[in-house]
């Protein structure tokens, strides 16, 4: 499998988003469902930053109206995992170093996480959930580097792909509890369950809400198609895009749905020489530790990979042993006599 460079700007993101959401709107969801809203400062920033004539100083003042947003942006920009070596002390400096588009991605992820964390969930542990989301985001970014595509969109898509699940599973608790009780381990099982119950799934709902929030179309597509799995790598338009990176990251198990996606990632190594799970997992674990978000990572990706390899080696050894003919000494006496 080769990794030719693909320019995401050459993709008709608006067309793909419109096609994927065709015939769906949030109005079909239960009227009692209370969907989250982005912080006001994020909404205003997204609107104003779309105009290239708006000075960075004006955009910085928008962010600074929200103290929590300001602190989080500076904290994340200065984290070792951001890749910026200069110590950033002001929002204006952060915008100048990051640029408008990456800043939009940063604020989108920060604002969405804040909106979801403000809500309670009876079915999902929020700390564990966001820990896995960060793990997926970092993994998506590393895969995006292999694909030579947009790492910022891949990171944001990896972090936000399931952002509505805590709210949906809380407000539709009995239905999602039924899914958990089924113990289905197929990576795409949750989306199929939702389609059967609602005729929509959390990917469609999240993507539609992201579009209403005026988020970039490529990010909307990352959310919309994140359950495509390995099939996305062969997509004629999206196979080398951030969407593919997010689809692979979605195969990492989450607190609600412990599936077998990691096994498929192991198989991918055989056909994609640059894709090495041990190397990717080590990079993700290091960056997750450096991010220091205050939540202990009880399930480092390297441990998952090591455990899976051990299980596969044991299964292979048992299969080999069962396929070997019994020794003469262990055969029944009647067989030896004949």
Q: Report yes or no: 294 and 126 within 8 Å, Cβ to Cβ.
A: no
Residue 123's nearest CA partner among 259, 252, 255, 254 is 255
- Tell me how far apart the alpha carbons of residues 153 and 1 are, in angstroms, rounded to a whole number: 23
pLDDT at 165: 92
What separation in angstroms does the CA of 95 have from each of 31, 101, 150?
39, 9, 18
Reduced to 3 states (helix: H, G, I; strand: E, B; else coil), residue 178 is: helix
Q: Which phi and psi (to 5°) does residue 85 adopt?
A: -85, -20
Q: Report yes or no: 154 and 246 within 8 Å, Cβ to Cβ.
A: yes
What separation in angstroms does the CA of 183 have from each of 230, 258, 304, 308?
22, 8, 19, 19
- What is the CB neighbour count within 10 angstroms for residue 327? 7
Token pair listed for 230: 């390995």
- Tell me how far apart the alpha carbons of residues 184 and 24 are, in angstroms, rounded to a whole number: 26
User: Please, which contacts does 128-131 make with residues 24 or more away whose CB atoms are closer than 8 Å?
Assistant: 128/255, 128/295, 128/298, 129/162, 129/165, 129/166, 129/254, 129/255, 129/256, 130/293, 130/295, 131/288, 131/293, 131/295, 131/297, 131/298, 131/299
In the numeric block, the tokens 């936000």 are attached to: 160
pLDDT tens, N- to C-terminus, the chain (338 residues): 544 445 666 899 999 999 999 989 999 999 988 989 999 999 999 999 989 999 999 999 999 999 999 998 898 888 766 667 778 899 999 999 888 888 888 898 888 888 888 888 888 888 888 888 989 999 999 999 999 999 989 999 999 999 999 999 999 999 999 998 888 777 788 999 999 999 999 999 999 999 999 888 999 999 999 999 999 999 999 999 999 999 999 999 887 776 678 889 999 999 999 999 999 999 999 888 877 555 566 678 998 888 887 777 766 666 677 766 655 444 444 444 34
Q: Which phi and psi (to 5°) does residue 212 adopt?
A: -65, -30
Entry field: residues in the chain: 338
Reduced to 3 states (helix: H, G, I; strand: E, B; else coil), residue 63 is: helix
CB burial class (10 A; 0-12, 13-18, 19+) of residue 86? exposed
- Tell me how far apart the alpha carbons of residues 200 and 222 are, in angstroms, rounded to a whole number: 17
Range 121-310 classified under CATH 1.10.287: no
- Tell me how far apart the alpha carbons of residues 91 and 70 are, in angstroms, rounded to a whole number: 7
Measure the CA angle with vertex 323, ends 320 and 324; round to 5°: 90
Domain residue extents for the chain:
37-118, 121-310
- Non-local (6+) Cβ contacts of 92 within 8 A are 56, 57, 60
pLDDT digits (tens, 9 = 90+) for 108-166: 888 888 888 888 888 888 888 888 898 999 999 999 999 999 998 999 999 999 999 99
């Amino acid at each position: 499998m080769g990794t030719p460079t693909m320019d995401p700007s050459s993709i008709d993101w608006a067309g793909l988003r419109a096609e994927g959401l065709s015939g769906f709107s949030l109005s079909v969801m239960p009227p009692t469902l209370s969907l989250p809203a982005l912080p006001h400062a994020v909404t205003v920033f997204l609107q104003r930053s779309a105009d290239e004539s708006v000075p960075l100083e004006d955009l910085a003042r928008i962010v600074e109206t929200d103290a929590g947003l300001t602190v989080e942006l500076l904290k994340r920009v200065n984290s070792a995992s951001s890749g910026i070596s200069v110590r950033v002390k002001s929002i204006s400096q952060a915008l100048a170093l990051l640029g408008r588009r990456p800043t939009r991605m940063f604020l989108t992820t920060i604002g969405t996480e804040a909106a979801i964390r403000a809500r309670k969930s009876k079915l999902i542990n929020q700390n564990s959930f966001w820990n896995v989301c960060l793990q997926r985001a970092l993994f998506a970014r590393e895969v995006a580097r292999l694909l030579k595509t947009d790492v910022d969109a891949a990171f944001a898509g990896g972090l936000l792909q399931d952002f509505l699940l805590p709210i949906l599973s809380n407000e539709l608790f009995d239905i999602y509890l039924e899914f958990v009780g089924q113990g289905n381990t197929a990576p795409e099982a949750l989306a199929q369950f939702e389609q059967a119950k609602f005729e929509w799934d959390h990917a469609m709902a999240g993507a539609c809400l992201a579009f209403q929030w005026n988020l970039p179309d490529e990010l909307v597509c990352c959310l919309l198609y994140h359950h495509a799995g390995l099939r996305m790598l062969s997509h004629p338009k999206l196979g080398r895009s951030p969407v593919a990176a997010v689809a692979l990251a979605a195969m990492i198990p989450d607190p609600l749905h412990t599936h077998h996606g990691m096994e498929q990632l192991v198989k991918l190594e055989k056909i994609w020489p640059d894709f090495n799970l041990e190397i990717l997992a080590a990079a993700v674990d290091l960056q997750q530790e450096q991010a220091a978000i205050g939540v202990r990572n009880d399930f480092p990706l390297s441990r998952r990979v090591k455990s899976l390899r051990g299980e596969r080696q044991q299964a292979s050894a048992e299969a080999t042993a069962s396929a070997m003919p019994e020794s003469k000494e262990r055969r029944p006496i009647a067989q030896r006599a004949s």
